[in-house]
Amino acid sequence: MHLPNPLQLNDWDNRRLFWTLQALQITLIVVVCLDLIGYHIPIAREALAFLYVTFLPGVLVLKALRLHGLGTIETVLYSVGLSLAVLMFTGLAANIIYPLLGYMRPFSLEALFPLLIAVVQALLVLALTRDREYSDPDPPVSIIPPAPAVPLLALLPFLAIIGAYVRNEHHMVTYLFLLLVLIAVIGLAIGFDRFIPPSCYPLAVYTIALSLLYHTSLISGYVWGYDIHHELHLVNGVLGSGLWDASIPYNTNAMLSVVVLVPIYSLITGMDPVWIFKIVFPLLFALVPLGLYHIFAKQTNAKIGFLAAFFFVAFFTFYTEMISLARQQIAEIFLMLTILVMIDKAMNRARWALLLGTFGIGMIVSHYGLSYIYLSALVPAWLLLVFSENLPAGIREKLSVVGDNPSWGMASKVQARTLVLPYILILAVSAYLWYSTVAGGTAFATITGIGDKIVSALFVGALSPTTAQGMHILTTQAVSPLHSLAKVVHVATQGLICVGLLATLFGRERWRIKPEYIAISLVFLAINLAGIVVPFFASSLNTSRLYHITLIFLAPFAIIGGITLYEAVVGRIPQVRVTPFAKSAYQVLAIFFVVFFLFNTGLIYQITDDRPTSIALETTGDKPVFNGREVVGAGWLLSAGSKRPIYVDGMRWWLLLGFGPDHQRYLPANVSLIEPDSYLYFGTHNIVRESVRIEVTEHAVTMADYTDAGRFIGDRDKIYDNAGSAIYHW
């Protein structure tokens, strides 16, 4: 008798699944009740509740759809995605139905917990009813591959947690240094086929991704970054009132990934929303590179899949900017899942349509920016597919590989196309209805405003460094030769992507990349280039975020491009193969992307003391990371209930955003512009360094400079001081 795989519950025997879920559910209820009466069992409620709401609803949906034998990775990915969708739409339904029944606090534990229990029980009954004929044997346990590398890979997230704790408490970054070095060594080991077998690649991708996220997200005991402060403000508003007010006119207020999902996790697990953002969301977001690895490996091979996923997580946006964009983290999970479904040509069409629609709508209600980009890519990609299917037979034959696996393959009639017009129309209509009605239609107004800006400046501001943010980055002089080299490395990755796409399109018979994937990738490459030349396009998201999004599709082509170039060089200079560290394309690419990783994490700059960039390794610079005294001071000021303007410099502005977005003002360079009878908030950096950050925006580019803080204070009255923050009455 073998043990069943706990990560593939949908493949379990019906009787065993029923009693296991009942036992888990009863245990969770008991633990929550004990917690409420004061008997807290450390980690028990948090862990059980996380597993319960993150996996069980999705597993039961898979079983209701009679989807079996998906394998551990796909089962986990689909289960999490479907669970997140169930949670968001359950919360939305509760927010509508409970008030109609006279109960005005749907987002409270007494309202949500019984509802989620009832939803899971209903899904269980539905699953067992629809799948009652299932009698296949339970799959054996195969979660952790038997390899010596497993303990090392499993150690990485714990090393990140320890390293972040030591950094916070003792300002030592030794463990974080060690973590980044180990990740670099693992990347090289896989490229050189040493120590880590292919069976461990999925574990390596997930643990590397999670450790990189934790090495930044766990900095300080409070959220850090930019947009996340506003997200936290909205979440606290929902939890405080017990109700989501869908009429508040902020773009973020229309995102269920923030205003519904975070309150649900917070209420059920009993964790503060700050720690949902810092601990739970990275656990979920690390599934994106795991899913991308699986998508890449299915279409190429395991080594290319790993290197492409490593490239994706090595880019700094993944573990810096994305930490402060919780809504986009969830949206990228849904985008990854749409790709996974799209390339699955064997799935039943009804199940395929249901999953694709669910994940697409989940992305729409999670993040407007990513949804707009994806929707804008679908139409030209669909046109490319239709156009290529109607090319003359001779041309179609040249653009298709021999056999049943098309590379460009748009003309192939062997497999049904999964990118179809009804799917695009359903997503477009759903996006329009949601964004134009919820939160005062601000999400829809935002995209139309960006469009107007682009059109008005397209012919006068194209390629201008002040309007095209990508062009500004390319043309700006680097601060040192080492930073210049880093810029060259970044540009080289885009060159590899271009070469890889061309190699896939023309004459590279070995790749099994699906035609839909190639079509969307071509459009995403065009989007990437548009971020450089089109005015105000990249600045609406930031160029780095735009590149990060395009890598979701384009990352494997960088590896294919590297292989193509290596083989071209070897074809002319065979001696390259006997050169140490260049015996295969994978070795060269592993070295290149490890160097890319070391630049992006800032480890190289930290070691050489050359304008360090790492938010984790550098502990002295001015960053959007705030200590407890700054948080307490901001809370005191905003809780006073005064409607007076609050002036704050460009970095501390984000902190106050988390307490209330209506009263703060950017500190102007001209002191005379400060309104009388207002407040001035100073954080630790302002006090210790006696300087403030003044930001000036010119078109699409924001420039920052530091100036003496004393000239803003003068003889003003200090009304608050806690040695970490100070407040002056102007």
Residue where a domain terminates, one of 114, 130, 146: 130
Report pLDDT for 399: 56
Contact (Cβ atoms closer than 8 angstroms) between residue 7 and residue 51 = no
**52 vs 62: CA distance, rounded Å:** 15
**226 vs 71: CA distance, rounded Å:** 38
Q: Give 336 or 5, the one with higher predicted confidence.
A: 336
Axis-axis angle for helices 72-100, 44-64 (nearest 10): 100
Residue 153 lies in a domain: no
The sign of the dihedral angle between the CA atoms of 303, 306, 312, 316 is negative
Rounded mean pLDDT of 689-716?
Answer: 81
Residue where a domain terminates, one of 94, 109, 130: 130
**558 vs 13: CA distance, rounded Å:** 43
**Residues 221-250 pLDDT 10s:** 999 998 999 999 999 999 999 999 999 998
Query: Residue 159: which residues within 8 A CB-CB, separation 6 or more?
Result: 175, 178, 179, 182, 211
| H-run or E-run covering 119 | helix 109-130
Helix/strand number for the chain, H first, E second: 30, 7
Query: Residue 7: which residues within 8 A CB-CB, separation 6 or more?
Result: 72, 75, 76, 143
Report pLDDT for 224: 94
**Residues 285-318 pLDDT 10s:** 999 999 999 999 999 999 999 999 999 999 999 9
**53 vs 267: CA distance, rounded Å:** 11
Report pLDDT for 528: 86
Report pLDDT for 661: 76
Contact (Cβ atoms closer than 8 angstroms) between residue 346 and residue 386 = no
**171 vs 116: CA distance, rounded Å:** 42
Quickly tell me which residue has 């070897």 as its tokens. 570
Best CA proximity match to 67, nearest among 380, 281, 355, 306: 355
Best CA proximity match to 164, nearest among 348, 327, 323: 323
The amino acid at 216: T
Residue 564 lies in a domain: no
Best CA proximity match to 181, nearest among 150, 215, 144, 151: 215
Query: Residue 390: which residues within 8 A CB-CB, separation 6 or more?
Result: none
Q: Give 583 or 91, the one with higher predicted confidence.
A: 91
Residue 28 lies in a domain: yes
**Residues 371-426 pLDDT 10s:** 999 999 999 999 999 988 776 766 666 555 433 444 444 434 445 678 889 999 99
Q: At 55, is the pLDDT very low, low, confident or very high (cuts 50, 70, 90)?
A: very high
Report pLDDT for 687: 92
**339 vs 359: CA distance, rounded Å:** 10
Residue 146 lies in a domain: no
In terms of residue numbers, what domain contains 125? 9-130
**223 vs 634: CA distance, rounded Å:** 14
**Residues 20-36 pLDDT 10s:** 999 999 999 999 999 99
Contact (Cβ atoms closer than 8 angstroms) between residue 489 and residue 316 = no
**298 vs 677: CA distance, rounded Å:** 63
Query: Residue 97: which residues within 8 A CB-CB, separation 6 or more?
Result: 106
The sign of the dihedral angle between the CA atoms of 347, 349, 354, 359 is positive
Residue where a domain terminates, one of 75, 107, 130: 130
Query: Residue 516: which residues within 8 A CB-CB, separation 6 or more?
Result: 342, 343, 381, 385, 417, 418, 419
The sign of the dihedral angle between the CA atoms of 18, 19, 20, 25 is positive
- Token pair recorded at residue 646: 């609050």
Best CA proximity match to 586, nearest among 187, 84, 199, 69: 187
Q: How many domains does the chain have?
A: 2
Q: What is the mean pLDDT of the chain?
A: 88
Residue 666 burial by CB count (10 A; 0-12/13-18/19+): exposed, middle or buried?
middle
Q: At 672, is the pLDDT very low, low, confident or very high (cuts 50, 70, 90)?
A: confident
DSSP state of 663: S
- Token pair recorded at residue 666: 């950017």
**Residues 263-272 pLDDT 10s:** 999 999 999 9
The values of phi and psi at residue 169, to 5°, are -90, -35
Residue 660 lies in a domain: yes
**Residues 464-521 pLDDT 10s:** 555 545 555 656 767 789 989 999 999 999 999 999 999 998 865 677 898 999 999 9
Rounded mean pLDDT of 595-602?
Answer: 96
Residue 684 lies in a domain: yes
Report pLDDT for 371: 94
Report pLDDT for 76: 97
Residue 701's SS3 state is: strand
**41 vs 444: CA distance, rounded Å:** 46
Q: At 450, is the pLDDT very low, low, confident or very high (cuts 50, 70, 90)?
A: low
Residue 693's SS3 state is: strand
Residue 552 lies in a domain: no
Q: At 140, is the pLDDT very low, low, confident or very high (cuts 50, 70, 90)?
A: low
**Residues 526-580 pLDDT 10s:** 988 887 766 555 555 678 888 999 999 999 999 999 999 999 999 888 877 778 8
Residue 448 burial by CB count (10 A; 0-12/13-18/19+): exposed, middle or buried?
exposed
